[in-house]
Amino acid sequence: MNYKTETLSDFTIISDKFLKGSKLNIAFLPENLNEFEDSAKFIYSESTTDIKKAFRLNNISVDYLTCDKPLLRARKSADWFGPTFFIGFSMLAENSTLINISLNVLSNYLYDFFTGNAPSKIVKFEIVVESKKSKEFQKITYEGPVQGINELGVVIKQLKK
């Protein structure tokens, strides 16, 4: 098992502030969500830029949580630190195919990214899933090889309540 899931008890405050009323399918969440008083200081993993481009090139629009210009945190490690994804309840309930497509885009990008590198690298990223409309949020933390990413599709769908 390369992942763990947990319930996010304090995410409702953030949801109320940034997501209320929106039908957000998928978005990038900042690493420092606890500092939500000033969204201009939100920090994302630097890999977010390239992932956003990879999604765009596959006609999937994924935006940052707010319109502020993002600050990007670079970690100079051989391992890959990915962004935190948010998957909204509408996507989970009405467009679950997009979940598989998105995971495919991510794993294809990473497969390409690590071509020419030995040995296999570890990737780390998180997914926050709105498992019940505006009420419950679950977090999946993934740490493992690229090959295991596609298995997360089933895990995400099972979180729906």
Partner 1 sequence: MIIQFIEVKELLEEFNQIAERSQNIAIFTRDIELQKAELQTLSNFIEKSNSLKISNKDKYSEEELNLILFIIFSIDAVKSELEMVISLKDNKMDLAWSSLVHAQIQISIAATNHPFNKNTLNGYVLKLDRYEKLLFPKMMFASAGYLVKKTKCSICELEYEDCDHLKGKFYNGELCVREIHEAELEEVSLVENPANKLCRALSAIFDGKEVDPLTFTEKK
Question: Which residues contact partner 1 (rule: CB under 8 A)?
Answer: 43, 46, 49-50, 53-54, 56-57, 69-79, 112-113, 115-119
Class of residue 120 by CB neighbours under 10 A (exposed 0-12, middle 13-18, buried 19+):
exposed
Pairing of strands 136-144, 63-64: unpaired
Q: Which is nearer to partner 1, 11 or 64 (CB)?
A: 64
Least separation in angstroms between CB 77 and partner 1? 6
DSSP category for residue 17: I
Least separation in angstroms between CB 78 and partner 1? 5
Least separation in angstroms between CB 153 and partner 1? 24
Q: Which is nearer to partner 1, 20 or 76 (CB)?
A: 76
In this structure, the chain runs to a length of: 161
Q: Which residues of 59-73 are buried (b: 16+ CB within 10 A; e: fewer)?
A: eeebebbeeeebeee
Indicate if the alpha-carbon torsion angle 109, 152, 145, 138 is positive or negative.
positive
Least separation in angstroms between CB 148 and partner 1? 19
Least separation in angstroms between CB 136 and partner 1? 32
CA distance 55 to 118: 26
Q: Which is nearer to partner 1, 61 or 77 (CB)?
A: 77
CA distance 161 to 154: 14
